[in-house]
Chain A
Amino acid sequence: MKADVTVDARYKSCPGPLLELAKAVWNSKPGQVILLLATDPGAPRDIETWASHTRHRLLAVEKDGDVFKIYVEASG
């Protein structure tokens, strides 16, 4: 999957990955895809929950070794 913006929040603890993702989404245009790289084991479920409370969309979660690759589409 192609991303417009990549946010590297590896080795950051909660709420670092979510806040960094939220900041990237805040600075994005609607429809842009943000890739969040995170190693925090709570990140996938946190981002999924965050998406369910906002208009932004969780597209996919992939695992590459210890790194979660979380794709989110920003909404307006």
Chain B
Amino acid sequence: MAEPQPRGEDEPRRGGEPKPPNRISIIVASDKLDKLFPAVTLASTAAVMGWEAELFFTMWGLSALRRGYEASEVSSDYKIHEASLLRTLASGSMPGWREMLAEGRKMGRLRVYACSTTMGMLGIGAEDLSEMVDDVVGAAYFLDRAKDSDINLFIS
């Protein structure tokens, strides 16, 4: 019997098909700091681990993709922690969420998608979107990608 083969990133599986990379798909439905940071932390980390990482910004999350948008608030339930979080971010001890997205896009396969329905709902045009956006997509595209993702998260 053949020895089991190590399952490295590009090791061919039996049958010669390369093993597909792991993938995480995240729906980001809030533009608040306490929601954006976990989503972007996981996506950028996945990207530098060689995974595919996909972020689908929808509903209020889409605001974060507007050109020039500065996230500066936490969710209303956690307002008491807002000042200390803003101080931590200003200190530079954590990378900024845009910086994390940029690093993930540069070093790995991180994609950012904007929800087409929300764009219509909020009156956001393609020209209003940040250059970080890879494409404008709908529900069917997300479902097709999420179907084969190893991890699917909805962060709201």
Residues of A within 8 A of B107 (CB): 22-23, 26
**How far is it, in angstroms, between the C-alpha of A16 and the C-alpha of B88 when the chains are bound?**
13
Q: Is A18 an interface residue (CB 8 A)?
A: yes
Which residue of the partner chain A has the closest CB to B45?
A15
Q: Is B51 an interface residue (CB 8 A)?
A: yes
Q: Is A29 an interface residue (CB 8 A)?
A: no
Expressed in whole angstroms, the minimum distance between the Cβ of A52 and any Cβ of chain B is 9
**How far is it, in angstroms, between the C-alpha of A11 and the C-alpha of B9 when the chains are bound?**
32
Residues of A within 8 A of B100 (CB): 15, 19
A19 touches B48 (CB 8 A): yes
Expressed in whole angstroms, the minimum distance between the Cβ of B92 and any Cβ of chain A is 8
Expressed in whole angstroms, the minimum distance between the Cβ of B8 and any Cβ of chain A is 7
Residues of B within 8 A of A16 (CB): 93-95
A54 touches B50 (CB 8 A): yes
Number of interface residues, chain A, beta carbon within 8 A: 16
Q: How many A-B residue pairs have CB under 8 A?
A: 45
B103 touches A23 (CB 8 A): yes
Q: Is B75 an interface residue (CB 8 A)?
A: no
Q: Is A12 an interface residue (CB 8 A)?
A: yes
**How far is it, in angstroms, between the C-alpha of A53 and the C-alpha of B93 when the chains are bound?**
26
Q: Could you jot down 23 A-B contacts, CB within 8 Å?
A: A11-B93, A12-B94, A12-B95, A13-B88, A13-B93, A13-B94, A14-B41, A15-B41, A15-B45, A16-B93, A16-B95, A18-B48, A19-B100, A19-B103, A23-B107, A26-B107, A50-B45, A50-B49, A53-B9, A53-B51, A54-B49, A55-B8, A55-B9
Sample of 14 more A-B contacts, CB < 8 Å, known A22-B48, A22-B107, A53-B51: A13-B93, A15-B100, A16-B95, A18-B48, A19-B45, A19-B100, A23-B103, A23-B107, A50-B45, A53-B9, A53-B22, A53-B49, A54-B50, A55-B9
Interface of B toward A, CB cutoff 8 Å: 8-9, 22, 41, 44-45, 48-51, 88, 93-95, 100, 103, 106-107
